[in-house]
Amino acid sequence: MEKFENVSGVAAPMPLVNIDTDMIIPKQFLKTIKRSGLGANLFDEMRFTRDGAEIEDFVLNKPAYRKAEIIVAGENFGCGSSREHAPWALRDFGIKVVISTSYADIFYNNCFKNGILPVVLPKEAVDILMEDAERGENARITIDLDGQTVSATDGTEFKFEVDEFKKHCLMNGLDDIGLTMQKVKAIDSFEAEYAAKTPWA
């Protein structure tokens, strides 16, 4: 997993509430166990018609937001089934930060394990950032994970809270495998000692 660094750029406004995981990545794309390739189908039923044509008025199809790394969303983002494919699809598309007032718990935790920072802010702050995001290329939102701040285009700054362990993992690019590999010497030592004590096993 890549180390999380400060993000500054255009944010896609998605004010819809209760954006669930089936909207993020529809069920027909859950057959793969690979984390790559799902970005092409992110918000598939909202981005494309049944014959595959782009829906022009969907935010991520608009020229200003095609390369957005940030989403400012309505409340309860990531609700629904607990599919890890949802953060996979977001990250593969290029989304590094989601800003909302609230998230489904499982989705929230899965984001950290897949290199995405889910920022929780009060509704008043999200409303300001949503309005900022709607300005398209004329606005840039900046997220500083180390300082735990989100800054609007005019410099207005909002503080957010994040679990220290989750923050450490994001900033150091550590997913569950990465955390395990930090203990590889201890694991090897245990296995060698256990093999010596139980050669019949």
CA 12/CA 68 separation, integer angstroms: 6
Domains and CATH numbers, the chain: 7-173 (3.20.19.10)
Query: Using CA atoms, how far apart are residues 101 and 73, in angstroms rounded to an integer?
Result: 8
Question: Is pLDDT above 90 for 93?
Answer: yes
Considering only CA atoms, which of 42, 48, 141 is closest in space to residue 94? 42
Give tens-digit pLDDT for 125-172.
999 999 999 999 889 999 999 999 999 999 999 999 999 999 999 999
Residue-wise pLDDT for 62-90, tens only, equals 999 999 999 999 999 999 988 899 999 99
